[in-house]
């Protein structure tokens, strides 16, 4: 599944799943553009990649800002000499009862999770077409994009929206040879799930760690997911073995949600 000499851009690359995706794609042979809101963690990931003997560059951007996403893609192409793979990974969680969610909370999470993927899809498709490249767009959805979860209702809505965007974009860009797919992780042992567990405890009165434990116990394979598990699947979506796949949003969750 070589992607040697390809250029990949990963948003939300400073930590967690994004970091693991960047490391995996670099190990697979790609030059990687790392995008996040904060420079320090990006620089740290870039050093990791360079220490492995691979090329990396960083670009600080807020994915909810369309102009910044377009600028990130432009910078990646100019600095790395091409553009082949877009991973719209950046996202935030929100734990809140539907009855209590505020307009500000809805606006913020849709701007990051949905609009971030939309602007990334737009910018990547425009660049692929300009370069005459049959590129790959890969979006972050979730098990919550297949099932709506209590207290994660608005988060779930954003991830369902990403699946819809992925399907529509796959149809629109197929004539240009551009594929668009998504990946749907489950309970991943990252800082995001630490925050989800903490908020669940505040709302429900459960002990810290109890919600995380409950969800992990529901995983058929018997363990929490790692960022590397997700990255391995994204590697498949980025590589040539997935060339005949588009518009799909497979679950990579160890056996929690079944479709």
Backbone phi and psi for residue 65, each to the nearest 5 degrees, phi listed first: -100, 110
Tokens of 175: 């004539």
User: Is residue 215 annotated as part of the catalytic site, yes or no?
Assistant: no
Could you say which of 155, 183, 212, 215 is catalytic?
155
Residues belonging to the active site: 155
């Amino acid at each position: 599944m070589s992607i040697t000499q390809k250029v990949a851009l990963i948003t939300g690359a400073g930590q967690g799943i994004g970091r693991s995706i960047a490391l995996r794609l670099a190990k697979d042979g790609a030059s990687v553009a790392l995008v996040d809101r904060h420079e320090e963690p990006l620089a740290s990931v870039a050093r990791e990649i360079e220490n492995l003997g691979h090329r990396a560059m960083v670009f600080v951007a807020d994915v909810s800002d369309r102009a910044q996403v377009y600028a990130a893609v432009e910078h990646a192409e100019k600095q790395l000499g091409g553009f082949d793979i877009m991973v719209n990974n950046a996202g935030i969680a929100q734990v809140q009862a539907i009855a209590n969610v505020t307009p500000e909370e809805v606006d913020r999470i849709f701007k990051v999770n949905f609009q971030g993927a939309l602007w990334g899809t737009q910018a990547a498709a425009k660049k692929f077409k300009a370069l005459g490249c049959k590129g790959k767009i890969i979006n972050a959805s979730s098990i919550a994009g297949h099932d709506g979860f209590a207290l994660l209702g608005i988060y779930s809505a954003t991830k369902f929206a990403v699946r819809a965007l992925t399907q529509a974009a796959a149809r629109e860009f197929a004539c240009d040879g551009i594929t668009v797919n998504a990946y749907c992780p489950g309970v991943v042992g990252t800082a995001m799930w630490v925050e989800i567990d903490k908020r669940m405890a505040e709302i429900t009165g459960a002990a810290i760690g109890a919600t995380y434990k409950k969800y992990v116990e529901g995983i058929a394979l018997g363990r929490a997911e790692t960022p590397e598990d997700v990255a391995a699947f994204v590697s498949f979506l980025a590589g040539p073995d997935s060339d005949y796949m588009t518009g799909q949003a497979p679950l990579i969750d160890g056996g929690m949600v079944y479709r």
